[in-house]
Amino acid sequence: MSFAPALFLIALTQQQVNKDIENSLRSFVQATLAYDVASLEKLLDKDYTEVSPLGEVDPHDKFLSYYRVPKDQQVRQPKLFTFSEMNLKFPTRDFAVAIYLEKLNFGTEQTPREMSVRVTTTLKKVKGKWLLFSNHYTGIRPKQ
């Protein structure tokens, strides 16, 4: 009896889960860059908490309040972002931990200005959808 077909299906399922998580993370960053509170509310668990690169702890409602500002008061956001070094762990079937490098480009094509942060995100699976449960950002100093 061969286990190859079962192992293949498990690998395909895991690839889809990884893709779903990465899509949730990308959607989250896109929503923050666009100040899209409606999308953020759909992506966050009700108990979401964030630790900012400045070390501030922002629970769900406080975090969302940063994105409920008039357009003329919104802080300039980066034009591009990338993820790399994705490391996913699954302590349970319904919880995931993603550790990755996020690079944000605030500049232009002529004068790029990049900021990098190491991010640890926990995600909780609720009704088949991966919601962000917490984010912890660690700033990375630019190389001198």
- pLDDT 10s digits, 126-137: 999 999 999 999
Neighbouring residues of 103: CB distance < 8 A, sequence distance ≥ 6:
81, 82, 84, 114, 115, 116
Cα separation of 104 and 25, whole Å? 14
- pLDDT 10s digits, 48-81: 999 988 889 999 999 999 999 888 887 777 667 8
Architecture of domain 4-140: Roll (3.10)
pLDDT value at position 63?
95
Residue 139: pLDDT above 70?
yes
Domain ranges of the chain: 4-140
